[in-house]
């Protein structure tokens, strides 16, 4: 029996970059709106931590697969992932994105306006924990998809809130759950790792969701996503 061909050396960041560039070139292509959004974020000095183009498209595809009409995002930055998600919405859809930093929110609003998405996508300024509490108090209609991508130590709190703001069939996605493999270190004292491990314990004990986490490599290094579907 012949074995499938496997690389004999561990692959490197340069390889992951090349593969991401190839996929993005083939399957995302030249996108002036997204390129302008990245340029505006760079010009404003925002950290370069938005999802990669092919990851943004994954979020877009998941939102399309959900048939999402209402999307909630926790952590806007310059609105790069927001644009990908909002583009999956129908014209009368709604996206609410929560952001703490007023400069980030301002850049994101400009990017959403340039993308022609200002009618569907709104950036709410403030601590996400507070904004989420307000959404719950106001009895906001359930969201079809929630993307959690803000301060990682708050992941368990954001996930609990997401459960209050969704319905059976909704999808909750959490970014950056692997962080170079640190998630597997039970002795870690890094608050992001401790909290993301707590998130996994919470999910494991939560009968209302069925979930998995996947590792990813690419231009953003070695990381991963958690996907959780609220059960019917």
Q: Which residues bind ligand DHB (CB under 6 A)?
A: 49, 149, 175-176
Among 175, 195, 218, 219, binds Mg ion (CB under 5 A): 175
The residue to which tokens 């560039």 are assigned:
21
Reduce the DSSP state of residue 60 to 3 states and report it.
helix
Q: Is 140 in the site for ligand SAH (CB under 6 A)?
A: no
**CB-nearest residue to ligand DHB:** 49
Could you give the CA distance from residue 228 to residue 19 in angstroms, rounded to a whole number?
27
Q: Is 104 in the site for ligand SAH (CB under 6 A)?
A: yes
Comparing CB distances to ligand SAH, the nearer of 77 and 163 is 77
Helices 155-164/191-204 angle, 10° precision: 40
Cβ proximity of 117 and 86 under 8 Å: yes
Phi-psi region of 172 (alpha: psi -120 to 50; beta: other; left: phi over 0): beta
Residues within window 143-162 making contact with Mg ion, judged by CB under 5 A: 149
Among 166, 176, 196, 219, binds Mg ion (CB under 5 A): 176
Q: Is 98 in the site for ligand SAH (CB under 6 A)?
A: yes
Smallest gap from Cβ 141 to ligand SAH, in A, equals 21
> Between the CA atoms of 60, 62, 58 and 227, what dihedral angle is there, to the nearest 10 degrees?
140
Q: Is 81 in the site for Mg ion (CB under 5 A)?
A: no
Q: Is 218 in the site for ligand SAH (CB under 6 A)?
A: no
The residue to which tokens 């719950």 are assigned:
136
Smallest gap from Cβ 216 to ligand SAH, in A, equals 13
Could you give the CA distance from residue 183 to residue 198 in angstroms, rounded to a whole number?
10
Interface residues toward ligand SAH, by CB under 6 A? 49-51, 75-77, 80-81, 98-101, 104, 127-128, 149-151
């Amino acid at each position: 029996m012949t074995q499938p061909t496997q690389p004999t050396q561990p692959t490197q960041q340069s390889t992951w970059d090349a593969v991401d560039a190839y996929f993005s070139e083939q399957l995302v292509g030249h996108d002036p709106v997204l390129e302008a959004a990245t340029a505006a974020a760079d010009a404003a000095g925002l950290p370069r931590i938005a999802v990669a183009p092919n990851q943004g498209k994954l979020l877009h595809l998941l939102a399309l697969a959900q048939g999402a009409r209402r999307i909630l995002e926790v952590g806007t930055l310059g609105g790069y992932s927001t644009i990908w998600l909002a583009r999956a919405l129908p014209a009368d859809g709604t996206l609410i994105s929560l952001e703490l930093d007023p400069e980030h929110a301002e850049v994101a609003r400009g990017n959403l306006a340039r993308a022609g998405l200002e009618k569907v996508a709104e950036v709410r300024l403030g601590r996400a924990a507070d904004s989420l509490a307000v959404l719950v108090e106001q009895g906001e209609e359930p969201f079809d998809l929630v993307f959690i991508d803000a301060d990682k130590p708050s992941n368990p709190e954001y996930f609990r809130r997401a459960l209050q703001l969704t319905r059976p069939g909704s999808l909750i996605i959490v970014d950056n759950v692997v962080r170079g493999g640190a998630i597997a270190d039970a002795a870690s004292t890094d608050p992001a790792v401790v909290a993301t491990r707590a998130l996994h314990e919470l999910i494991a004990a939560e009968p209302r969701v069925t979930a998995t986490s996947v590792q990813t490599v690419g231009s953003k290094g070695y990381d991963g996503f958690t996907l959780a579907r609220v059960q019917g």
